[in-house]
Amino acid sequence: MAIYISLQATLSRIEAACVRFQRDPAEVSLLPVSKTFPAEALREAFAAGARCFGENYVQEALDKIEALIDLRPQLQWHLIGPLQSNKTRVVAEHFDWVHSIDRLRIAERLSAQRPPELPPLNVCIQVNVSGEASKSGVAPDEAATLAQAVAALPRLSLRGVMAVPEPLDDFEAQRQPHRRVAQLYQALRAQGLALDTLSLGMSADLEAAIAEGATLVRVGSAIFGHRPRSPAAEDKS
């Protein structure tokens, strides 16, 4: 029941932000971020209406995919954390989306390892918009070259751009990095890339992201509550 209430409250936040910034609520999707939470919490979220989950750690996610195998045809699994080259095969085999493409080599491996019986893997280019050394992502001025190369790979479907701007408290300050990512997203579309996903915004800044054009917001703690220590923290995949 608690997750149902939190999920509905988050959807209401999204709708209110869309009304405030004259966006169509149908244009903004919610990705519940379930990293560190057990499979039972995801099953509760599924019962509350969630049909996709975002995970940061590959092995932790694989364990949940197996635990929820009965729901697999109805679920989408999104990898939103950094991906190491030695984990690309299992990701290509088990995930529906990867939001964190920041190197061509990773994309090439995912394309080569995507099973032929599965549809192309949906991917986003991750941009390090704030230039933080602690975060993954391609530099904004290198994003177009990477995006064009990824779009040419046969077993991937380049869907958009993802970013995790540095945390800021002031609403107008939050909007600025989101705006830069949105401008990059529109520039890539102007180059002829058929993008439809701007993956921006989390629990603390989803309103700022929606104000700047986000089409998908990634929300964890506002839905699932206080995040426990990850059992897969050493994975860093």
pLDDT over 90, % of the chain: 91
Residue 234 lies inside a defined structural domain of this protein:
no
Flag whether 235 is in a domain. Answer: no
Label residue 217 by pLDDT band (50, 70, 90).
Answer: very high
* Token pair in block for residue 93: 């085999």
The count of domains in the chain is 1
Classify residue 230: in a domain, yes or no. Answer: no
Residue predicted with more confidence, 228 or 35: 35
Residue 22 counted as domain residue: yes
Q: Is 97 a domain residue?
A: yes
Q: For 179, phi and psi rounded to 5 degrees?
A: -65, -40
Is the residue at 197 inside a domain?
Answer: yes
The yes-or-no verdict on residue 236 having pLDDT over 50 is no
Crossing angle (nearest 10°) for helices 39-47 and 2-20: 60
Note every long-range contact of 129-135, with CB atoms under 8 Å and residues 24 or more positions apart, other chains counting. Answer: 129/163, 129/165, 129/177, 129/180, 129/181, 130/165, 130/166, 130/177, 132/166, 135/164
pLDDT tens figures, 25-70: 999 999 999 999 999 999 999 999 999 999 999 999 999 999 999 9
Question: Does the residue 59 lie in any domain?
Answer: yes
Q: What is the DSSP string of 30-43?
A: EEEB-TTS-HHHHH
pLDDT at site 226: 83
In a domain, 73, yes or no: yes
For residue range 157-194, list pLDDT tens digits in order: 999 999 999 999 999 999 999 999 999 999 999 999 99
Domain region containing 76: 2-223
d(CA 82, CA 53): 16
Average pLDDT, the chain: 95
Is pLDDT at 20 greater than 80 in this prediction?
yes
The CATH number linked to 144 is 3.20.20.10
